[in-house]
Chain A
Amino acid sequence: MASGSGVRARNESAWLLPNDGTRTNHRLRRDMRRFADDDEIDLVIVGCGAGGSVLLQRLARAGWKVAALDAGPFWDPDADWVSDEAGSHQLYWTDPRVIAGTDPVPMGSNNSGRGVGGSMVHYAGYTPRFHPSDFMTATLDGVGADWPLSYAQLRPYYEQLEQELPVAGERWPWGDPHGYPYRPHPVGGNGEIFLRGADKLGITAKVGPVAITNGRFGNRPHCIYRGFCLQGCKVNAKASPLITHIPDALAHGAEVRPDAMVTGIAVDERTGRATGVRYVRDGRERFQRAAMVAVAGYSIETPRLLLNSSCERFPDGLCNDFDQVGRYLMVQGAPQTAGRFDAEVRMYKAPPPEVSTEEFYETDPAREAKRGFSIQTVSPLPITWAEHVAAQGHWGSALREYMSDYVHWSCLGSLCEFLARPENRVTLAEEKDSYGLPVARFSYSQCDNDRALVRAAQSVMEDILHAAGADEVITIQRYAHLVGGARMARDERHGVVDSNCRSFAVPNLYITDGSVLPTQGSANPALTIMAVAARAADHLAASGTT
């Protein structure tokens, strides 16, 4: 079992949380450094999620004057979060957005967070690495794009972050084989079913990797297996930047400015450099001066902010000289297949993330499609489960009857690597939000390769559940995660930022969130987003403040 002492020397967050059964260090927040708007700070970060928080913590440690603005609240798990599905509505970004295309992608609870901690407040907690192949799919498979950096360049950051979150799981045999700092969690009914079915078919499945404490970590307690991971962890067991990076950042002089909606990035028309950000707080428009700006608003709001920040020099949107902003936005195809057992599975009694397989992750010449998919346990709570049942066409009495059978079902989910396509993109809609800014319009359409992967994944999930003894299976088609929209590339004609996350167009503007990813693999993206931000932070710290 990892001691955590090595981690503590470089990230003390877990030890800065209270150890008295409450979850928030209020003194740390009260004593937080606060910069004035006209104080030219070294760096202002837009968004306090996976990417923004890691950057904030790293540069605060490097001695930078740095502040992160977030549109949402500075959460206190004790007072703000509930052990309840419908009551967790406030965790999601629910400002208006328009979805379009032949396969429109629902937003909100599915993929969009709000407040300090970002989407990792309500993500399941799976933190797999990308495979080495994900960084060169164009070369290997003739699809997608090659990253301007390699897996080997990101590996040290994966290792650092797996210790900081920390991640629990069995030794991982796929991609670049590696171990995890904490032992795997015990599995519940759903994980048991997955392992049983996979074993019968000779499919390797492993427990993990999940960023949930198994044993005490600093002042974070052991998981209590209550099943409400997607509603925000009231236990402080599941990792999110709110507890893994923000406390250490504050202790090193960073400011987190919650409830501050950034509405524009200002650029000096003469020098072409960013000068700070416009934002609205308490109904008042303000301006934070900064020598450098990093945008970390995720794949919808980051492109939207760039497009809404047009000026004389950038009439079509900031960094958009080559019409790259908003493009190549990706979601994973995420069909979920459930199986019915006479025994009671009660899948809600464990964290939804338990067991996964990456055996189908890479291109298989025997399949009709390039790239692949992963399969993981998902354990929908009643409202989400009702979506599954309603998707079969049931309503009224039939809906109620199916729903009364809830305790007998086991549910698996797949993540299919949908390919990046230029026409899948964010643009600005006619409609305005409450700040008077055009809202994002996200158009999404699948290609044949995408559909073939979904069919293959569904058939494997059905096989696993049948092998485990299910008498019936049902499937719902859905999507998971977002990445891309301001991707990294070798040059400005193919992307928005370079391998260090610096924008090609504005030398002191960085993008450090999931929108820079050129491909997505079949892995949940949180760990990779953090690793990319940590690498950008190292580059910035090495080059020094401006």
Chain B
Amino acid sequence: MSAGPEGTRDWAGRFPGFDVLSQARHWDQVTADTVMARIKPPAAPRFFTGAEAACARALLNLLTGQDEPDGELAVPVLEMVDSRLQAGETDGWRYDDMPEDGQAWRDTLAHLDADAGLRCGTSFAAAPELDRLALVQAVQDLKSADWHGLPAAHVWSLWTRYACTAFYAHPSAWTEIGFPGPAYPRGYKNAGVGKLEPFEVRDARPAEDPVKEGA
């Protein structure tokens, strides 16, 4: 199976007309407050320094497929990760060969900038897109080998865990994948293969199996 960033960018539009937020009036208030806070304009980064924030933004947008120069940025992943780190909201564990999460983020962003400096003579954020892709791919390809004194696989785990948790917490991401989001107090009445609720939208391209395409 292929791995890496290559994709066809045709994920949009599989669920025509579906919009998670159109159902927000059916959510309980506590959940609605939590979710709606994510679509407000994000606060400026507080945990990351200016240079770290620039590097982290470029990295996180790349990891979540939001790096198209003219693309619309749907999810403010950098700000979501920054506010988590500022609040010390870790996953509740760290590998014994990694620093705690906040320090691990600072260290690895500095290493990424250093790699970009060697390769392109720029910061990571200022490097051309193909170079940014290559720099990140290089870390993934190291697997458990050493990257600046850290096991690359554990660095990769840290980056992707924070990136995915932020991105798929956002209602725009749920709309993109056809997931209706919060379900209390309404629940579901039509569970079963092929069955839909009135507010769900059928996939317009059901045979578009990315695994088959990637094979």
List residues of chain A with CB under 8 Å of any chain B CB: 78-87, 89, 92-100, 104, 106-109, 112, 186-189, 192-193, 224-228, 234-235, 340-346, 348-350, 381-383, 385-387, 390, 392-408, 429, 441, 471-472, 474
Contact = CB atoms under 8 A, between A and B. Distances in A.
Given A87-B34, A382-B179, 17 more contacts: A82-B182, A83-B28, A87-B169, A98-B95, A99-B96, A187-B191, A189-B194, A189-B195, A192-B192, A226-B184, A343-B206, A398-B2, A404-B210, A405-B208, A406-B179, A407-B177, A472-B211
Interface stretch (B44-52, B57-65, B116-124): B57-65
Contacts of A93: 92
Contacts of A106: 91, 93
Interface in B1-51: 1-12, 14, 27-28, 30-31, 34-35
Nearest to B166: A86
B188 A349 contact: yes
Contacts of A398: 2-7, 65, 210, 214
B12 to A, nearest CB: 8
A226 B193 contact: no
Contacts of B195: 189, 346
Contacts, number: 257
B187 A395 contact: no
The 7 closest A-B pairs by CB, nearest first: A393-B3, A224-B187, A397-B7, A108-B92, A396-B5, A188-B191, A94-B92
Given A84-B35, A89-B89, A344 B196 contact: yes
B210 A104 contact: no
Q: What range describes how many residues of B lie at the interface? A: 35 or more
Contacts of A95: 92
Of A97, A225, A228, A398, the most chain B CB neighbours within 10 A belong to A398
Nearest to A97: B93
B164 A189 contact: no
Given A83-B31, A193-B193, A383-B169, A100 B95 contact: yes
24 contacts: A82-B35, A84-B181, A84-B182, A93-B92, A94-B89, A96-B90, A100-B95, A108-B90, A188-B188, A188-B191, A189-B194, A227-B183, A235-B184, A350-B188, A382-B168, A386-B164, A393-B3, A393-B4, A394-B4, A396-B63, A403-B176, A404-B14, A406-B177, A429-B96
B169 A85 contact: yes
B7 A401 contact: yes
B160 A395 contact: yes
Given A348-B179, A404-B14, A405-B210, A397 B191 contact: no
Contacts of B193: 189, 192-193, 341, 343-345
Contacts of B183: 83, 224, 226-228
B211 A474 contact: yes
Contacts of A80: 30
A429 B100 CA distance: 13
A226 B35 CA distance: 17
Contact of B184 (A94, A228, A397): A228
A404 B176 contact: yes
Contacts of B208: 405
A108 B93 contact: yes
Contact of A86 (B11, B92, B165, B188): B165
